[in-house]
Amino acid sequence: MQCEEIADALAGSADHAELADRRARKHVETCLRCQAEVVQYRKLLKALHALREDMVATPHGLVTDIFVRLEAAGERQAVRSLLAGRKAAYVGGIAVATAAAGAGAAVLLVNRSKRRLRSAA
């Protein structure tokens, strides 16, 4: 049996005393590499169990502060999205106003040139 063949079984059996497969148990008994891996898995499990039991005290007002900041960030994002959504409308309005001003100027020029032609005739 090779180390690669039982690598997954080692991770699963680190919290148990024995491996299910007799050949795998025999291999681990004679293989220093696999024994070291079992020890590492056991250390990892011990550290994870210790973390589960640790309680971390949160500073007073931390949760409230987080919610206030999230709300403010949400409001800023909402304003940005409104402005971004209306950007096309703003640009369209400016284009229409520019076109109207250009058309108005053209009408004035045409009227002026008609007046000049009448007065010259």
Percent residues over pLDDT 70 in the chain: 63
Give the residue, 78 or 111, on which the prediction is more confident: 78
In a domain, 76, yes or no: no
pTM for the model:
0.41
In a domain, 65, yes or no: no
Q: Is the pLDDT of residue 16 over 60?
A: no
Length of the chain: 121
Nearest CA to 37 out of 58, 8, 67, 73 is that of: 8
In a domain, 13, yes or no: yes
Instruction: Please enumerate in sequence order all residues whose Cβ is within 8 A of that of 33, keeping only pairs 6 or more positions apart, or say none.
Output: 3
Question: From its phi and psi, is residue 109 left (phi > 0), alpha (psi between -120 and 50) or beta?
Answer: alpha
Give the residue, 9 or 33, on which the prediction is more confident: 33
What total number of domains does the chain contain? 1
In a domain, 111, yes or no: no
Q: Which domain holds residue 31?
A: 3-52
DSSP character string of 11-70: HHHTTSSS-SSHHHHHHHHH-HHHHHHHHHHHHHHHHHHHHHH---PPPTTHHHHHHHHH
